[in-house]
Amino acid sequence: MKLYRLLTAPDDASFCHKVTAALNNGWELYGSPTYAFNAATGIMQCGQAVTKTVEGKDYHPDIKLGEQ
């Protein structure tokens, strides 16, 4: 099965750590990162899509994507 996640975080080291952790757990970057201003918080937000292929499992809506 192919899994998809959109990682988001404030524009600080926590975002880089989140993406780095995903890459080290077998996820691959998908597309370009995104960057936007959150007017409600006054903080710039980053986003990066990642995908991962997991063999031998079937998708179901209850799956915990971050645990794969």
The total number of structural domains in the chain stands at: 1
Q: pTM for the full model?
A: 0.86
**How does 6-15 read in b/e, with b if 16+ C-beta sit within 10 Å?**
ebebeeeeeb
Query: Is 68 inside any structural domain?
Result: no
pLDDT score, position 57: 86
Q: Is residue 61 part of a domain?
A: no
CB 15 within 8 A of CB 66: no
Q: Looking at the domain assignment, is residue 43 inside a domain?
A: yes
When pLDDT is cut at 50, 70 and 90, the band that residue 51 belongs to is very high
- The neighbouring-strand residues paired with 50 are 5, 29
Quick: pLDDT tens for 33-43.
999 999 999 99
Task: For residue 37, tell me if it sits in a domain.
Answer: yes
- Which residue type, as a one-letter code, is found at position 53? T
Q: What are phi and psi of 40, to 5 degrees?
A: -70, -35
What's the mean per-residue pLDDT of the chain? 94
| 11 in a structural domain | yes
Query: Mean per-residue pLDDT for 2-31?
Result: 96
Parent domain of 49? 2-56
